[in-house]
Chain A
Amino acid sequence: MPEQKTVTLNMGPQHPSTHGVLRVVVELDGERVVKATPVVGYLHTGIEKTMESKLYYQALVCTDRMDYLAPMSNNLGYCLAVEKLMDIEVPEKVQWARVCLAELTRIKSHLVWLGTHSIDLGAMSMLLYTFRDRESIIDVYEACGGQRMMTSYIRIGGLAHELPVDFDKKVRRAVKQVNEGLADYENLLTNNEIFINRTRNVAVISAEDAIAWSLSGPMLRGSGVKHDLRKANPYSGYENFDFEIAYGEKGDAYDRYLLRLKEIRQSLRIINQALDGMPEGPYRARVPGVVLPPKEDVLYKMESMIFHFKIITEGFKAPVGSIYQAIESPKGELGFLITGDGSNRPRRVRVRPPSFINLASLPRLVEGGMFSDVVCAIGSIDIVLGEVDR
């Protein structure tokens, strides 16, 4: 009998189904995966270093470009962290608007995930449907921040400016569109035999393993752990909303697919509540010297103009100490650890990237399985390389 040998295959960094520039070195024994080693860093941007060299409010711009599928969630995480560091309370209306935008962002991110994941598995038309519905959410983004993706609309202490006049109308239109789209996706995928065969019992991880590997978000909940930071440690007024945590049972790729669809439904529920109960009030907190005064005041009031000028030129000084603020981003626990050192620039901004830590479990998910399931496993983790590499 001839000697048994394994084949080492290099996947990426330019590969259509690695969602960017991920590289996986796979060792194969026939069709079975013996060993898989993800190699990351092909999009390493030095964002953490860049943020250290900027003033607190300038560093916000970098956060958009990390998880570029969910820019508003990153904005929210960073702003909440700086607000915690500076001990700022934001008005109630800001909290509600932020929740509304963060949930829209969750839907937006899940839609891109759904489109790309199913195109990897052979369902080509899904991408067209999800991108069609995603445009309606991008309309809301555009109305708020004037940009399709990198809006930087959520700012330290509040929002960039007042909510647009047709905000309510635009969001409701998006909700309606996504609601109608969801029926299409379910018809196409949920009972689709090919899709079920490709995802059932693929990339399985048990609850104990998921906790040991520090997984978070849909990866953790897909294995049956009922943990959601929106419920466990509510931030930005999530305790005022009525919603359920979606979770799976088996922890395979199909469970995670169902879970994300459920999450989209729950997000729609939260958005509807936020729109119905949106309180009146200012769109930014009034903290002289830390939060930029409203633009209307800057034009007519002397003190506001002085504060505006001071904050723009030299920023504000943060106390010495580290704080950590985590939010439930579409990918999982997105945490910002910000260390102030008494100067106007952060000493350290650490982002706890959910996709980076979830991706670390890839070898655990694919080893021993078929080679064709590697693509499914990468897709079901829902990675975004901008956040993995930063």
Chain B
Amino acid sequence: MGIEEKIPDSIILTTLDKMVNWSHRRSMWPLGFGLACCAIEMMSTFAPHFDLARYGMEVMRPSPRQADLMIVAGRVSMKMAPVIKTLYEQMPNPKWVIAMGACASCGGVFNNYAVLQGVDRIIPVDIYVPGCPPRPEQLMDGILKLYEKVDKESLKDKREDWGRRVG
């Protein structure tokens, strides 16, 4: 292989945090879940022209129990809000949330009785992607930003964080 010559003692030094984050980042499975207009752009992101598979993310999981990234793509109505909360709680830790588009982030143009003014009122959001709907490139950028965020996480914080999210 040749790599043995470069690392004579076959020892790689790293921290546990780095290793865990690397594995989290490299196997992020999004929940295949579309709400409204942004879902179509999300589908375009997975389709050939933009091809999210380049980042190792083409596996959409229809079941929340197998996913660790929730992309809230579209407006969240009052009737849908409890469902989204349930879906989020069904996802195993560690889990992340991207609020895609103006409606999921803050209600967008629909400031009315039917729409939840931002999905962050019911579940914690890691990345907000602006736009109505955001371009696929924007969503990809949001996902890459999420990777950067995951890289900076530490197990110690995470333990406390999970405690907060569950409780």
Is chain B in direct contact with chain A in the complex (CB below 8 A)?
A: yes
Which residue of chain A has the shortest Cβ distance to B37 in the bound complex?
Answer: A68
* CB-based nearest A residue for B111: A50
Contacts A20-B39, A69-B40, A128-B48; A50 near B109 (Cβ below 8 A) = yes
| C-alpha gap A205/B77 in the complex (Å) | 33
In the bound complex, residues from chain A placing their C-beta under 8 Å from that of B83 are 13-14, 21, 42
Complex partner residue of B114 from A20, A45, A149, A150, CB under 8 angstroms? A45
Q: Is A47 an interface residue (CB 8 A)?
A: yes
CB distance from A188 to the nearest CB of B (A): 15
B1 to chain A, nearest CB (A): 36
Q: A20-B34, A150-B133 are in contact. Are A42 and B41 (CB under 8 A)?
A: no
Q: Check A49/B36 contact, CB under 8 A, given A14-B83, A42-B83.
A: no
A135 adjacent to B49 (CB under 8 Å): yes
Complex contact A149–B37 (CB within 8 A) = yes
Assembly CA distance A385 to B77 (angstroms): 12
Q: Is the beta-carbon distance between B80 and A131 smaller than 8 angstroms?
A: no
Most chain B Cβ neighbours within 10 Å, of A15, A42, A132 = A42
> Of all chain A residues, which has the CB nearest B115?
A45
Residues from chain B with a CB closer than 8 A to the CB of A14 are 33, 64, 83, 87
Tell me the bound Cα distance from A32 to B132 in angstroms: 42
Q: Which residues in B have their C-beta under 8 angstroms from that of A150?
A: 37, 132-133
Asked whether any CB of chain B lies closer than 8 Å to the CB of A221, the reply is no
- Encoded as 1 (CB less than 8 Å from any A CB) or 0, chain B from 111 to 155 comes to 111110000000000000000110100000000000000000000
Interface size class of A (residues with CB under 8 A): 20 to 34
Identify which of A62, A68, A128, A385 contacts B47 (C-beta below 8 A): A128
Q: How far is the CA of A43 from the CA of B37 in the complex (A)?
A: 11
Are B43 and A43 in contact, CB atoms less than 8 angstroms apart?
no
Report if A44 contacts B (CB, 8 A): yes
Cβ of B30 within 8 Å of any chain A Cβ, yes or no, is: no
B113 in contact with A43 (CB, 8 Å): no
Known contacts A128-B48, A148-B41: does B112 contact A50 (CB below 8 Å)? yes
Which chain B positions have C-beta within 8 A of A148? 41, 44, 133, 135
Picked from A42, A49, A134, the residue with its CB within 8 Å of the CB of B79 is A42
Nearest chain A CB to B108 CB, angstrom units? 9
Q: Output the least CB separation between B29 and chain A (Å).
A: 14
B47 A43 Cβ-Cβ under 8 A: no
Known: A20-B35, A132-B49. A41 touches B79 (CB 8 A): yes
Q: How far is the CA of A148 from the CA of B41 in the complex (A)?
A: 9
CB distance from A146 to the nearest CB of B (A): 11
Question: For window 45-98 of chain A, which residues contact chain B by CB distance below 8 Å?
Answer: 45-47, 49-50, 61-62, 65, 68-69
**B40 to chain A: closest residue by CB:** A68
Cα distance A62–B109 when bound, in Å? Answer: 8
The answer to whether B112 and A49 have CB atoms under 8 Å apart is yes
Closest CB in chain A relative to B66 CB, distance in Å:
13
Partner of A149, one of B33, B40, B87, B115: B40
Known: A49-B112, A50-B112, A149-B41. A43 touches B35 (CB 8 A): yes
Taken together as a complex, chains A and B put the C-alpha atoms of A148 and B49 apart, in Å, by 13
Contacts A14-B87, A45-B110, A150-B133 given: A127-B36 contact, CB under 8 Å? Answer: no
Give the distance to chain B from A165, nearest Cβ to Cβ, in Å.
23
A149 to B111 CA separation, bound complex (whole angstroms): 21
- Could you say which residues of chain A place their CB within 8 Å of the CB of B78? 44
CB contact list, A95-133 vs B, under 8 A: 112, 127-128, 131-132
Give the shortest distance, in Å, between A208 (CB) and chain B (any CB). 35
User: Which residue of B is nearest A116, CB measured?
Assistant: B43
Question: Which residues from A are CB-within-8-Å of B35?
Answer: 20-21, 43
B-chain residues with CB within 8 Å of residue A16 when the two chains form the complex: 32, 62
Chain B 50-88 residues near chain A, CB threshold 8 A: 62, 64, 74-75, 77-80, 83, 87
Q: Which residues of A contact B (CB under 8 A)?
A: 13-16, 20-21, 41-47, 49-50, 61-62, 65, 68-69, 112, 127-128, 131-132, 134-135, 148-150, 385-386, 389
23 contacts between A and B (CB under 8 A): A16-B32, A21-B35, A21-B80, A21-B83, A43-B36, A43-B77, A44-B78, A45-B77, A45-B114, A47-B110, A49-B112, A50-B110, A68-B36, A68-B37, A69-B40, A112-B40, A127-B47, A131-B43, A131-B44, A135-B49, A149-B37, A149-B41, A385-B36
Known A-B contacts: A43-B77, A50-B109. Give 19 more (CB < 8 A).
Answer: A20-B36, A41-B79, A42-B83, A43-B75, A44-B77, A46-B110, A46-B113, A49-B112, A49-B113, A65-B36, A65-B109, A68-B37, A127-B43, A128-B47, A132-B47, A148-B44, A149-B133, A150-B133, A385-B36
